[in-house]
């Protein structure tokens, strides 16, 4: 009996993933165990015809039954490793991991990647935003009975140097979003064979690059998904990279433009002193960012005569560096879907200036921005391993930049196929994100509202958390977005007054209302300042108006 027939036959003996069906007939003695069912998946081949984009099919390389762990609550499951074979034999295969719980809830969760991908996403972790920290500890979807899976995005694990995979057309296309479809289709064929049916609900969750992939799922492959969660989605590769490069140049390539750590802290502290209390409470979080725009002036920190005279003030050159980030960066030509600008970045709204942008020693190659922009410029745009990102002028590469934007960017407001069969989309953004600025996510949501009008609320929820950055922040958001999504898709109950929990060690457990854009949490003036019920969602928080 071949593998596919064997797995399907085993599945017929299973009801809703709850294990072998009880049977008093003599054949019951031959009912396969969970270990037998799992082992039968090893060596399974998924034909290319089952995958909606060109491949040479997919192969299961191993399948191992993993025992339940009573201490963690992890159930018994079959851990499957395999690969989707690239159509171009010189391109990397897509490596994937699939987790098949013995007791299945009938639903699946696909996890997105991060950064340049190239790391196998196991699907064993919590969903984005539901962190494993103290009172905000969450349960991974697998532990709740979901089939879970992820991949390396079709980027060879440990690709060195970073970004060099982009010299291969198929690898670049996989990174740009096609791996979402190839992985999903291959895995669904295995799932259907294992359980005897497709999942009743298929979800996608991801943050940053995974958030980009989540929007790719909604925009390009909407028929495949019932619900999607996208945290701080890096949906504009070229726009983000070009703006990061511009800000990096201002800080590191112009004499006197860099701000040392003392000056970085000076800006952050002054912004917080000026703006923290605008929401009615001083709690280390700038919630009223629009009010902060009016209240704070960087000119108040100007050194006498504009020359650098110490760490207690800013030179004109350093003020110009900050203003380069605090203003929208406009492109010389339109990118995909008419995008003409990106920003501002939240440098005057309480964001941490270090890490992503400014390093601690003024070493330009140590900037987080450099670590991403240099490979993209050299391998994605210039397509030359021997090239340099020094003095790069994107205007000389207009054709290539626009091509990459069309290939990669997930800024298309047309999600008709996704919504037609009842798909639901949750987007989450932080005000302090220095990698994916709130303005960019705001802009995409406004495009959705322009296309769908008031009806957009029937299938999209967009939440903005003050103090939250790129997965961290002065308010480290923890929210069970997957459960909210599941209730919305299954029970038709949209999120109502969701509550955000802070997972930072020093403020662990405090809560705030998670407000739908363009609102933000304002203290009512009475009651415990650490309790969400003492705040109301109010005001306006449009970051780019």
Sign of CA dihedral 84, 87, 93, 94: negative
CA distances from 510 to 114, 498, 507, 528, 535 (A): 28, 14, 6, 10, 12
What proportions of the chain, in percent to the nearest 5, are helix, strand and coil? Answer: 40, 15, 45
- Token pair for residue 428? 């989450």
CB 1, CB 9: distance < 8 Å: yes
Q: Which of 1-15, 25-39, 100-114, 348-362 is least confident?
A: 1-15
Phi and psi at residue 465, to the nearest 5°: -105, 115
Identify each DSSP E strand in 334-481 by its residue range. Answer: 341-342, 424-430, 460-465, 477-478
Q: Which of 3-7, 333-337, 452-456 is least confident?
A: 3-7
Annotation marks residue 246 as catalytic: no
First-last CA distance in the chain: 65
Helix (H, G, I), strand (E, B) or coil at 480: coil
Give residue 350's pLDDT: 94
- Residue 1 confidence (pLDDT) above 50: no
Helix (H, G, I), strand (E, B) or coil at 266: helix
With tokens 């029937």, the residue in question is: 458
Give residue 20's pLDDT: 38
Residue in 433, 442, 476, 502 annotated catalytic: 433
Higher pLDDT pick, 93 / 19? 93
Higher pLDDT pick, 187 / 133? 187
pLDDT level of residue 542 (50, 70, 90 thresholds) = very low
Q: Which DSSP string corresponds to 142-170?
A: GGGT-EEEEE-TTS-TT-SSTTGGGGSHH
- Specify burial of residue 233 (Cβ count, 10 A radius: 0-12, 13-18, 19+): buried
Break the chain into its structural domains and give their ranges: 3-235+410-538, 239-408
| Whole-number percent of the chain with pLDDT over 90 | 87
Q: Stretch 20-27: mean pLDDT, rounded? A: 41
Question: CA 222 from chain center: how many Å?
Answer: 17
Give residue 137's pLDDT: 58
* Distance (Å, whole) CA 332 – CA 141: 44
Burial 53-79 (b: 16+ CB within 10 A, else e): bebebbbbeebebbeeeeeeebbbbbb
Helices (H) and strands (E) in the chain, counts: 14, 17
Tens digit of each residue's pLDDT (9 = 90 or more) over 295-304: 999 999 999 9
Residue in 108, 208, 287, 315 annotated catalytic: 208
Give residue 32's pLDDT: 75
Helix (H, G, I), strand (E, B) or coil at 6: helix
- Specify burial of residue 39 (Cβ count, 10 A radius: 0-12, 13-18, 19+): middle
Fold category of 3-235+410-538 in CATH: Rossmann fold (3.40.50)
Q: Is the peptide bond before 371 cis (omega within 30 degrees of 0)?
A: no
CB 468, CB 523: distance < 8 Å: no
Annotation marks residue 208 as catalytic: yes
Q: Stretch 270-282: mean pLDDT, rounded? A: 97
Give residue 18's pLDDT: 41
CA distances from 256 to 253, 317, 413, 471 (A): 9, 6, 42, 31
Residue in 287, 324, 374, 470 annotated catalytic: 470
Give residue 26's pLDDT: 44
Q: Stretch 96-117: mean pLDDT, rounded? A: 97
Identify each DSSP E strand in 380-519 by its residue range. Answer: 424-430, 460-465, 477-478, 499-502, 511-513
* Distance (Å, whole) CA 63 – CA 83: 13
Give residue 156's pLDDT: 77
- Residue 21 confidence (pLDDT) above 50: no
pLDDT level of residue 128 (50, 70, 90 thresholds) = confident
Give residue 130's pLDDT: 66
- Residue 171 confidence (pLDDT) above 50: yes
pLDDT level of residue 80 (50, 70, 90 thresholds) = very high
Tens digit of each residue's pLDDT (9 = 90 or more) over 501-510: 999 999 999 9
- Residue 25 confidence (pLDDT) above 80: no
pLDDT level of residue 127 (50, 70, 90 thresholds) = confident
Q: Stretch 50-58: mean pLDDT, rounded? A: 98
- Residue 19 confidence (pLDDT) above 70: no
Tens digit of each residue's pLDDT (9 = 90 or more) over 241-262: 999 999 999 999 999 999 999 9
- Residue 343 confidence (pLDDT) above 90: yes
Burial 193-204 (b: 16+ CB within 10 A, else e): bbbbeebebbbb
Q: Is the peptide bond before 518 cis (omega within 30 degrees of 0)?
A: yes
């Amino acid at each position: 009996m071949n593998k596919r027939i064997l797995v399907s036959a085993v599945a017929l003996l299973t009801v809703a993933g709850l294990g072998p069906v009880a049977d008093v007939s003599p054949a019951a003695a031959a009912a396969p165990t969970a270990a037998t069912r799992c082992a039968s998946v090893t060596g399974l081949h998924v034909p290319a015809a089952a995958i909606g984009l060109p491949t040479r099919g997919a192969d299961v390389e191993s399948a191992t039954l993993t025992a339940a762990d009573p201490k963690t609550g992890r159930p018994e499951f079959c851990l499957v490793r395999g690969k989707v074979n690239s159509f171009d034999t010189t391109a990397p295969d897509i490596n994937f991991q699939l987790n098949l719980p013995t007791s299945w809830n009938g639903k699946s969760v696909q996890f997105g990647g991060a950064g340049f991908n190239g790391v196998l996403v196991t699907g064993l972790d919590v969903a984005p935003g539901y962190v494993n920290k103290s009172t905000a500890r969450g349960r991974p979807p697998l532990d709740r009975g979901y089939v879970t899976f992820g991949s390396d995005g079709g980027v060879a694990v440990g690709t060195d140097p970073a970004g060099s995979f982009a010299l291969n057309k198929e690898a670049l296309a996989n990174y740009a979003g096609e791996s979402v479809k190839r992985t999903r289709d291959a895995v669904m064929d295995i799932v259907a064979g294992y359980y005897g049916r497709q999942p009743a609900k298929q979800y996608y969750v991801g943050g940053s690059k995974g958030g980009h992939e989540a929007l790719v799922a909604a925009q390009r492959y909407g028929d495949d998904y019932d619900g999607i969660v996208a945290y701080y989605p890096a949906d504009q590769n070229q726009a983000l990279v070009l703006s990061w490069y511009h800000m990096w140049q201002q800080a590191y390539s112009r004499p006197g433009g860099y701000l040392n750590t003392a000056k970085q802290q000076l800006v952050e502290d002054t912004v917080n002193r000026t703006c923290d209390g605008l929401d009615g409470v001083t709690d280390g979080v700038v919630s009223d960012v629009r009010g902060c725009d009016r209240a704070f002036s960087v000119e108040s920190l100007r050194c006498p005569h504009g020359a650098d005279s110490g760490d207690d003030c800013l030179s004109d050159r350093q003020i110009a560096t900050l203003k380069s980030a605090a203003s929208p960066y406009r492109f010389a030509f339109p990118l995909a879907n008419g995008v003409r600008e990106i920003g501002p970045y939240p440098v005057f709204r309480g964001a941490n200036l270090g890490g992503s942008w400014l390093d601690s020693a003024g070493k330009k190659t140590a900037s987080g921005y450099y670590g991403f922009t240099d490979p993209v410029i050299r391998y994605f745009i210039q397509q030359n391993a021997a090239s340099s990102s020094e003095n790069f002028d994107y205007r000389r590469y207009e054709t290539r930049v626009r091509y990459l934007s069309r290939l990669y960017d997930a800024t298309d407001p047309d999600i008709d196929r996704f919504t037609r069969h009842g798909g639901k989309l949750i987007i989450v953004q932080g005000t302090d994100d220095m990698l994916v600025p709130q303005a960019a996510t705001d802009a995409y949501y406004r495009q959705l509202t322009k296309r769908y009008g008031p009806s957009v609320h029937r299938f999209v929820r967009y939440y903005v958390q003050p103090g939250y950055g790129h997965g961290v922040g002065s308010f480290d958001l923890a929210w069970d977005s997957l459960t909210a999504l599941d209730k919305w898709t299954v029970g038709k109950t949209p999120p109502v007054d969701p509550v955000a929990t802070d997972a930072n060690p020093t403020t662990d457990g405090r809560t705030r209302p998670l407000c739908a854009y363009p609102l933000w949490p304002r203290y009512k003036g009475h009651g415990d300042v650490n309790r969400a019920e003492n705040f109301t969602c109010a005001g306006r928080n449009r970051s780019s108006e």
